[in-house]
């Protein structure tokens, strides 16, 4: 009889506790651990001096030492961002996938920016250009402006981007054009779902014969191809293509620098129209 009574008391105690937590946080309480409270797709450590750690559904820390009363606000922000990024998924699935993106270093939307963390632990951030840039200008307008630029490099970049746009069915839609990475980590000339395309109107023999300039040139492509590089920015590991319109100042296709690039996994084209062969 005593055992039965004890079970009933425990049952009602847990029910009251669950109801109190639900009222406090406004989220569905799945269960309570000794080290955390599980709130739908989130977790929260027990309060300590009014501060808590906000966790994802796998126990990874999302926010550390935040005021307890701010937890619900942050959870709502994550859920809203997940709905925006994964609008085709049910709300809970979208939230879990979004939180997994953060934990695994995959790109995730944070306001106007895409954010990710590379294998070295460096945060990589760039403007979301999928529909428009931060000034409200669509990528197609940026490409048109580049084509009419008085700067040869920019004009060439625009021509290549226009050609890639015409090949959208086979190469994918352009999602970055001339997009700078935060903290001067680099710039994305052109990217689609599958490709990262670097455009060079001209490459000079003087650049390659100068030790420091050659090192700088190769370093740019290491940031695209070496996943262990501190400043690796090709977060989605897209295939890298280098298009060079002209070789100047005695630079030949037989120069060892091109072999170094190919060893990194870079595909080198001397005519952007060769992109028609890519799928």
In the chain, where does DSSP find H-type helix?
2-25, 71-85, 91-104, 139-147, 152-166, 168-171, 205-209, 211-225, 256-264
Q: Which residue has the tokens 């090709």?
A: 234
Closest CA to 114 of 193, 190, 196, 179: 179
Cβ atoms of 222 and 264 within 8 Å: the answer is yes
CATH match for 139-277 among 3.30.310, 1.10.287, 3.40.1350, 1.10.3470: 3.40.1350
pLDDT of residue 132: 47
Q: What is the pLDDT of residue 35?
A: 56
Predicted pLDDT of residue 68 = 87
pLDDT at 242: 98
Q: Residue 58 in 3-state DSSP?
A: coil
Contacts with 111 (C-beta within 8 Å, 6 or more apart), sequence order: none
Classify 146 as helix, strand or coil. Answer: helix
Residue with tokens 């190469």: 171
Domain ranges across the chain: 14-104, 139-277
Classify burial at 30, counting beta carbons within 10 Å of its beta carbon; exposed 0-12, middle 13-18, buried 19 or more. middle
| Chain centre distance of CA 112 | 12
Q: Quick one: pLDDT at residue 19?
A: 58
Phi/psi of residue 50, nearest 5 degrees: 80, 0
Q: What pLDDT, on a 0 to 100 scale, did the predictor assign at position 135?
A: 46
Q: Note down pLDDT in tens along the chain; length 279 residues.
A: 456 545 545 655 655 655 555 555 444 444 455 556 667 788 888 888 989 899 998 889 899 999 988 988 899 899 998 998 898 999 999 999 999 998 888 899 888 899 999 989 899 999 998 754 444 458 999 999 999 999 999 999 999 999 999 999 999 999 999 999 998 999 999 999 999 999 999 999 999 999 999 999 999 999 999 999 999 999 999 999 999 999 999 999 999 999 999 999 999 999 999 999 998
- For residue 43, the model assigns a pLDDT of 86
pLDDT for the residue numbered 30: 45
């Amino acid at each position: 009889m005593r055992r039965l009574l004890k079970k009933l008391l425990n049952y009602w105690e847990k029910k009251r506790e669950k109801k109190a937590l639900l009222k406090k946080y406004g989220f569905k309480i799945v269960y309570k651990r000794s080290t955390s409270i599980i709130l739908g797709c989130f977790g929260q450590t027990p309060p300590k001096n009014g501060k808590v750690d906000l966790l994802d559904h796998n126990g990874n820390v999302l926010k550390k030492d935040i005021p307890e009363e701010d937890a619900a606000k942050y959870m709502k922000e994550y859920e809203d961002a997940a709905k925006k990024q994964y609008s085709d998924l049910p709300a809970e699935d979208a939230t879990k996938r979004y939180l997994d993106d953060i934990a695994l270093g995959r790109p995730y939307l944070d306001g106007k920016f895409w954010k990710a963390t590379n294998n070295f632990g460096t945060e990589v951030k760039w403007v979301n250009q999928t529909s428009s840039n931060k000034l409200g200008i669509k990528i197609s307008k940026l490409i048109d402006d580049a084509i009419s630029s008085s700067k040869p490099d920019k004009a060439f970049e625009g021509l290549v981007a226009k050609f890639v746009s015409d090949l959208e069915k086979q190469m994918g839609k352009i999602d970055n054009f001339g997009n700078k990475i935060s903290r001067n980590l680099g710039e994305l000339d052109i990217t689609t779902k599958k490709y990262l395309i670097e455009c060079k109107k001209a490459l000079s023999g003087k650049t390659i014969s100068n030790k420091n300039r050659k090192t700088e040139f190769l370093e740019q492509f290491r940031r695209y191809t070496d996943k262990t590089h501190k400043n690796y920015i090709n977060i989605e590991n897209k295939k890298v293509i280098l298009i060079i319109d002209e070789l100047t100042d005695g630079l030949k296709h037989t120069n060892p620098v091109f072999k170094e690039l190919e060893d990194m996994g870079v595909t080198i084209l001397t005519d952007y129209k060769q992109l028609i062969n890519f799928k």
